[in-house]
Structure formats: C-alpha cells, structure tokens
Structure 1
Amino acid sequence: MSTLSVPAAPARSPRLSGPTWLVLRLHRPALLVWALVVVGGAALTLWLGGPLTDASAEAWRQYNACPQPACSYDQNAVTTYKSVALYAAFVVALAPLAVAAWAGGALFGREVEDGTAQLAWTQSVSPARWLAVKLAWPAALIVVGLTPLALLYHRAWSAGQGRIDTIKPWTDVLTYTASGPVPVAVALFALAFGAVAALRLGRALPALGVTGAASFGVWSIAEALRVRLWPTVTRVAGLRSESIPGTSRAETVERGIVTSGGTHVAGDSSCFIPDYKDAPGCATKLEQLHATGYYADVHPYSHFWPLQLMESGVVLAFAAVTAFVAFRLLRRRTA
C-alpha cells in the first residue's frame, strides 16, 4: 500500500526582524553614506601610502640632491601628497562629528520628536531593547568602519617618515587624532550622547547641536589631558649644548634648567632654552640660578600607542557613563 508523501517546506533563509530590521530599514541612506565614506577613505589612504608617497619621496630626493638654486623636480607630486594627506586626515578625525550629527538628529532625535519611538515602545518592543539595538548596531558599524581607516592612515603616514621633508610630525593634532583609536572612541561617545540629548530635549535639531558640541568638548578635554596620561621621559644637556638630544621628534611637556643641586626649575623664559642661551641677560640669569644644564620632559614617538590607548580609554569611560545615563533617562521617561 502506497502512502502519500508531503513535500517538505523549503528552508527559509534567516532574516533580520524586529527592532534590528527597523533600524537598518529606516537608516539605509545613512548606512550607504557610511559605506561610501569607509570605502572611499580606505582607497584614499591606500593611494596616499603607496603611489603618492613614492612619487613625493622621489621628488624630494631630486630636490635635495640638486646643488643649484633652481632645480627641476616634480613639484606637483609634493603638493598632491600634501593635499591628499590633509584630506585623508580630515576624513578620519572629523568622522565623530558626523556621527554626532546623525545620532542626535536622525537616529534618536527625529524618532523621539515624531513619536515613532513612543509607538514602538507601546506596540512592538520594550524601551530598553529599542535603545540597546539602536546603540549596538551603529556602534558595531562605527568600530568596523572607522578602525581600519585610522590604521590605514597611520600606515600611510609611517610610509613617508624620513622620505618626505614636509610630512607632519606625529605630535600634530590632526595627524595624531587620525592615526589611532581616538576617533573611534569619540564616535562611540557621540552615539551614546545622541541618545541622551534626544531623550532629554525631545527635538531633533537641538539634540543635533548639543551632541556635536558635547562630542567636541569631550575630545578637547581628552586632548588636553593626553600628555599627563603617561609618564614622560626626561632629557638633559649641558649649558654649552646647542639643543637637548632626543627632543626633535618628541612632544615637549615641560622644559627648564638643572641647578647645581640637581633641582629642575621649569620656565617659559627664552634663557631656559639652549638655542637662546647667548641672548642678552641670559648668562647673568643662569648664573644667579646656579644653572648647570637644561632639561626637557618629553613624550618620544615610542609613547604614541600608549598615549592613544590611554586617551581612548578616557573617552570610552565617558561613553560608558553616557550610555548608562541614556538608559536611566529612558526608564524615567517610560515609567
């Protein structure tokens, strides 16, 4: 006796649903723009660290090897490298401000102002889950997209060291910011603060402005604290020295003179700098202070990654506290 066999239902491919699907569906334009920024920025930094660096380095080699006042060299390669390096640094360093504008204005502010968020809380998803998803997915995209851009820029900058005379030092604010995890941390803070601003103000435009200002403020605070976040290295030199060894590629935190008793006396006077020791009055002043040499407390290039990680840690601590505040505000608003 034959039996009828029921065909098995075709397996369905897994699909995103719920608040995750809603976030990705509503913010498709922002995701597309972010993908273009990441891909375009990666292509720009790869071009910068490869062909542009080689062409500019060759131009500088020709210029430095020429004994005549007027030399023939590829000036266009030099200017192109300088411009592209500036543009690439701006893309990475200013990305957190774009995230702040989007988080405060569109991701949270517009939905709270229009009532879309309130509708979701009452019909389809709990408020806490709504906020968790809207923080988690953008945070993941920020880390996955911005981290490679910063590392690629640092790689491109490193490729020009010792080869391009006009390359920015690592202590340059824009170069330093674009070369490590600091912009990633600031972008994550901007994301969390966008939620706080939207829930507190309830309007998109004010939330956008406040989030941008707060993100810039936190970055400025971390930048000001940066040199104090890691122990400095002290370099010394005698009174007859023309400069203090080991300070040319370092960030100077403090400088001054060393007295006969071994005390370090800090000061901004030009007499405390070896280059100006022959200035009028300096000899008398140094003699009155019983100076025996100069010193400088510096951060050498070897401190680059420790400083980056410490500064990022400070900003991430702000981001964690801000995310906690966002959940508390949401709980109070939906109580």
Structure 2
Amino acid sequence: MSALTLTAAPVDRPRQTRWLLRLHRPALYTWAVLWLALAALLLALDGPLLNAAADAWRQYESCPTSERCSYDQNAILRYKDYYNYATIALNVLPFLLAAWAGAALTGRELESGTARLAWTQATSPARWLAVRLAVPALGVTVCTGLLAWLHHRAWAASQGRIDSAKEWYDRFTFHAGGPTLAAMALAGLAAGALAGLLLRRTLPALVVGVLVAGAVRGLTELAMPHLWPAVTRLSTVDQGFLGKGMAVDQGMVTASGAHVPPPTCDSVKACATAFDRFTGRYNTYQPHSHLWGLQLTTTALTLAVAALLVTGCFLVLRRQTGTLRAARA
C-alpha cells in the first residue's frame, strides 16, 4: 500500500474521539467507579453520616461535667475518618491523572508506535494531541467540578454541628471543596501529557508527570495566601495573636511601629525579657470572607500554569514531528 493510499482518507474528529475512548476503556471504567464511590461517600457525609455524628455531639455536649454518660463515639469517629478519606482522595486525583496521562495517554502511545500509526492515517500530530487533551479535559472538568461541589456541601453542612469539623483554611479541605480541584486536575493532566511527550516511555513519564504535578501543587500552596489582599490585626503582647483564618504573616510590633519576626527563647525568663522589648503583636491573615476570592485567584493561577504546560506539549510535539519529517526527507 502506497503512502498516497495511507493519507487519502481523512479521519474525522468524532472517529478520533471514539478511538480514544476505546483505547483507554479500562481507565474510563476505573474513573467511573472511583467517581461513583466518591460521590456516594460525599452524599453520605452530607446525610446519614453527618446526622449520626451531629446527634452524638449533642449527646456529648449535654453530658454533665461531673457525671459519666453514654454517647455514640463510633459515629463521631466514623464521620471523621470518612471525611478524611474523601478529602485526601480528592486531593490525590490530580496526581493520579498526571500518572495516567504520562504513562498511557501519551507515553505508551509514543513508545508502542500507536501515535505514529495514527499520524500516517491523515491525522495530523497537532490534531492527535488536541483530541487527547481536550476529551479527557472535558470529562475531568465536569467530574471534578461535581465532586468539589458535593464536598463543599458536605463541609458546609458540618459547620456548627460537628465540633471537630475542619476549618475552611485547612489546605486539603480548601482544595477539595472548590474550583481549584478542577484546575489542579487539569494541570496534572497537562503535566503528565508533557512528560509522556518528552520521555516517550511509560514508566519514566509516569514518575515525572507526578513530580511535575507535585511541583505545581507546591508552588500554588506558596503563592495562595498572597493572591488576595489580607487583613492585619494588632494586639497587645499579652493578648496574643488575634484573628482566625489562613495565616499569611505573624510577628511583633516594636515601639517605632515596625513589624519584626517573633523572638526565639528557651525559657520563661528569657521569653519575658525578650517580649518586654515589644509593644504589641500583629497577625496578617485571610478571613473566611475571602474564601471565594482565594478560590478564584488560585484557580486562575493554576489554569495559567496548565495553559503553559499545554503550550509546552504542542511545542515539543512540533519539534519532534518536524525532526521526523526532516529525517524522512
């Protein structure tokens, strides 16, 4: 069969999408099972698990301090454990997507030659990559967005009813219950795809994709508290730090009004002497009212990083396919 015959019939985009879904059918089934399990768990955390734990907390709080009384401790612990399981699982999703994208979405297809076969059947490399990024990205955005909404509902329902409920600024809770989850999932997908294109081998791409996704998460964590104007509260030395929320900076106020880091001391006497030099304390933090401002700015930052990773994917592919054409010519 001639090269002209191989390139004669174009492959339309719906056919490419169907081929992609068929090729990655095991991953699709695994994702569906995982999504359903997490959705069911989050609904339970907003329903029977929450109600049982809330009743147990009411029983505990109504106990006289001088007497022993029974309350359903297992319900409290069960809710706490399942909440942690669901929250950690949601935070791990971007890393799983990075591993899959590096190992299977691009790395394995390049390593096995499936990608080159597609390129010989009137599918341009750019279109091949666009389909492999766009189709999973659409599914990931919808699925993680729904899970984040369910998680936020479950968390909000626990406020005022569960004494041990996580605060909004707990980092795992923050990312599991907002649009940052979808943004980080997309960044993980792009990181894995880029690793697969660069390394063209399954296992190395899996490892590098996860590491890049971890780097994106780490940089986001560092930048997040500073992405929205913070609030600063002053207090006396004896009052301690006032204000509750996501910490940005804390320290001491000198007589001149300067803000300096808190002193280090190893004994009560040394601490008393050290703190005598200051006139007060300052606490710079993000209050609860800044939750969605931080969510949106962090999402925007993460999506910008994801866009850079996607751009890198196309640049790497163009360099590789250009080199391939030059060698054949």
Answer whether TM exceeds 0.5 for this pair.
Answer: yes
Counting only pairs closer than 5 Å after superposition, residues 47-66 of structure 1 correspond to structure 2 as 47-66=44-63
Q: Residue by residue, what CA displacement relative to the aligned partner does 1:87-135 show, whole Å, maximum 9, x if unpaired?
A: 1102211111111111111111111111010010111311111110110
Counting only pairs closer than 5 Å after superposition, residues 214-225 of structure 1 correspond to structure 2 as 214-225=212-223
Q: Cα offset for 1:204? A: 1.0
Query: SS at 1:256's partner residue?
Result: strand
Query: SS at 1:163's partner residue?
Result: coil
Query: SS at 1:257's partner residue?
Result: strand
Which residue of the partner structure matches residue 261 of structure 1? 256
Query: SS at 1:280's partner residue?
Result: helix
Q: Residue by residue, what CA displacement relative to the aligned partner does 1:167-191 show, whole Å, maximum 9, x if unpaired?
A: 2222222222211122211221122
Which residue of the partner structure matches residue 43 of structure 1? 40
Which residue of the partner structure matches residue 193 of structure 1? 191
Which of the residues 286, 292, 309 maps onto 2:279?
A: 292
Indicate how the Cα distance of structure 1 residues 240 and 321 shifts in structure 2: closer, same or farther if over 3 A, else same: closer
Counting only pairs closer than 5 Å after superposition, residues 25-104 of structure 1 correspond to structure 2 as 25-67=22-64, 68-104=66-102
Query: SS at 2:120's partner residue?
Result: helix
Indicate how the Cα distance of structure 1 residues 270 and 161 shifts in structure 2: closer, same or farther if over 3 A, else same: farther
Query: What RMSD, in angstroms, separates the aligned Cα atoms of the two structures?
Result: 2.0
Which residue of the partner structure matches residue 132 of structure 2? 134
In 1, are the aligned partners of 2:197 and 2:313 still within 8 Å (CA)?
Answer: yes
CA distance in 2, matches of 1:285, 1:21: 69
Which of the residues 284, 303, 310 maps onto 1:323?
A: 310
CA distance in 2, matches of 1:86, 1:152: 14
Which of the residues 160, 165, 168 maps onto 1:167?
A: 165
Q: Cα offset for 1:270? A: 6.7
CA distance in 2, matches of 1:81, 1:268: 40
CA distance in 1, matches of 2:54, 2:257: 45
CA distance in 1, matches of 2:18, 2:164: 48
* Larger-gyration structure (1/2): 1
Count, aligned residues? 310
Residue identity matched to 1:258: V
Q: Cα offset for 1:69? A: 4.6
CA distance in 2, matches of 1:133, 1:268: 56
CA distance in 2, matches of 1:257, 1:198: 49
Q: Cα offset for 1:40? A: 1.9
% same residue: 47
Which residue of the partner structure matches residue 154 of structure 1? 152
Which residue of the partner structure matches residue 9 of structure 2? none
In 1, are the aligned partners of 2:42 and 2:154 still within 8 Å (CA)?
Answer: yes
Query: SS at 2:46's partner residue?
Result: helix
- What is the TM-score when the length of structure 2 is the normalising length? 0.88
Gaps of 5+ in 2: 1-11, 323-329
Q: Residue by residue, what CA displacement relative to the aligned partner does 1:205-238 show, whole Å, maximum 9, x if unpaired?
A: 1111110111011111111221122221011222
- What is the TM-score when the length of structure 1 is the normalising length? 0.87
Aligned structure 1 segments of 4 or more residues deviating by more than 4 angstroms: none
CA distance in 1, matches of 2:29, 2:172: 26
- 2:112 pairs with 1:114: yes
Moved more, 135-144 or 173-182: 173-182
Indicate how the Cα distance of structure 1 residues 203 and 283 shifts in structure 2: closer, same or farther if over 3 A, else same: closer
Indicate how the Cα distance of structure 1 residues 325 and 198 shifts in structure 2: closer, same or farther if over 3 A, else same: same
CA distance in 2, matches of 1:198, 1:238: 56
Q: Cα offset for 1:285? A: 2.8
Q: Cα offset for 1:240? A: 4.1
Residue identity matched to 1:20: T
In 1, are the aligned partners of 2:251 and 2:281 still within 8 Å (CA)?
Answer: yes
Indicate how the Cα distance of structure 1 residues 268 and 218 shifts in structure 2: closer, same or farther if over 3 A, else same: farther
Indicate how the Cα distance of structure 1 residues 260 and 134 shifts in structure 2: closer, same or farther if over 3 A, else same: same
Which residue of the partner structure matches residue 5 of structure 2? none
CA distance in 2, matches of 1:117, 1:16: 15
Residue identity matched to 2:174: Y
Which residue of the partner structure matches residue 206 of structure 1? 204
In 1, are the aligned partners of 2:263 and 2:274 still within 8 Å (CA)?
Answer: no
Q: Cα offset for 1:202? A: 1.3
CA distance in 1, matches of 2:138, 2:265: 50
CA distance in 1, matches of 2:71, 2:298: 41
CA distance in 1, matches of 2:273, 2:197: 64
Which residue of the partner structure matches residue 312 of structure 1? 299
Residue identity matched to 2:19: L
Which of the residues 308, 315, 320 maps onto 1:333?
A: 320
